[in-house]
Amino acid sequence: MTSYHIAQNGAPAGVFTEAEIQSGLQSGRFSPNDLLWSEGMSEWLPVATRFSVAPAAPSTPPVATPYPSPQSGPSPTANPYAPSASVIAMEMPPLRLASLGSRVAAILLDSLVFGLATIPVGIGLSILPDSPDPTSPAAEPATIFMAVGALLSLVVIAINLYLLAARGQTLGKKWMHIRIASHPNGGNPGLVRTLLLRGFVNGLLSNLTSGIYGLVDFCFVFREDRRCLHDLLAGTVVLAGDPES
């Protein structure tokens, strides 16, 4: 059963199960306008978005009130449910950051796996005859080696794409028990954000600056929150531990 963090009037109220929240709504302990958050949610939401409560029958007829003037009430652009920074700071579960060593080790493992997958391609290229004669004795083995290497490389890429989409991990990060997560809630950032912002855009900026951006990007890992430039760009953070199943 899912548990939710509840905040009331800018202060934490605790963690409650679905049954406790539903009961609290009936008893008046919780208000539909209180805020809730749970693992996997990208933002705080009003309790009313996840739970409903039947309104109690009024004991006396309601008193008619005039319509409010157009000037009264909150601004149409204001979000009455936006949590204060104190709520987020107090209620968000603490994030356990991945160590620098584990992040570097994960990168090295990913490079090693991909390098091993492409070894047959190198072997094929090394025995490929200089002449384009398809009848050469070395032509067929070279083609087989390169085809095997290409297939293994595609398998490694497919596995990493699946792990990134489902768990925020690559093979190296999975073996090192670290993961890419959304900041600050620790949820799964998804494949698009991970590939587009952390990967493609970050690599493009590095190429356009002849590697200078990449060096600065790495130096940011020594910040207190260990978020590199690509993490700030994608709104992510690298955490210790595997994602919840």
Domain of residue 9: give its range. 1-53+86-93
- Please indicate, yes or no, if residue 81 is contained in any of the structural domains: no
Tens digit of pLDDT for each residue in 62-112?
A: 555 554 444 444 444 444 445 444 444 444 455 789 999 999 999 999 999
Which whole number is the average pLDDT over 24-45? 81
Tens digit of pLDDT for each residue in 35-76?
A: 888 877 767 788 888 888 755 555 555 555 554 444 444 444
Helix axes 139-167, 100-117, angle to 10 degrees: 150
- Please indicate, yes or no, if residue 161 is contained in any of the structural domains: yes
Tell me, yes or no, whether 48 and 157 share the same domain: no
Tell me, yes or no, whether 128 and 193 share the same domain: yes
From 64, 93, 122, the end of a domain falls on: 93
| pLDDT value, residue 239 | 93
pTM, two decimal places: 0.60
From 36, 66, 93, the end of a domain falls on: 93
At 128, the pLDDT band (50, 70, 90 cuts) reads: confident
Count of domains forming the chain: 2
Tell me, yes or no, whether 34 and 142 share the same domain: no
From 43, 66, 93, the end of a domain falls on: 93
- Please indicate, yes or no, if residue 73 is contained in any of the structural domains: no
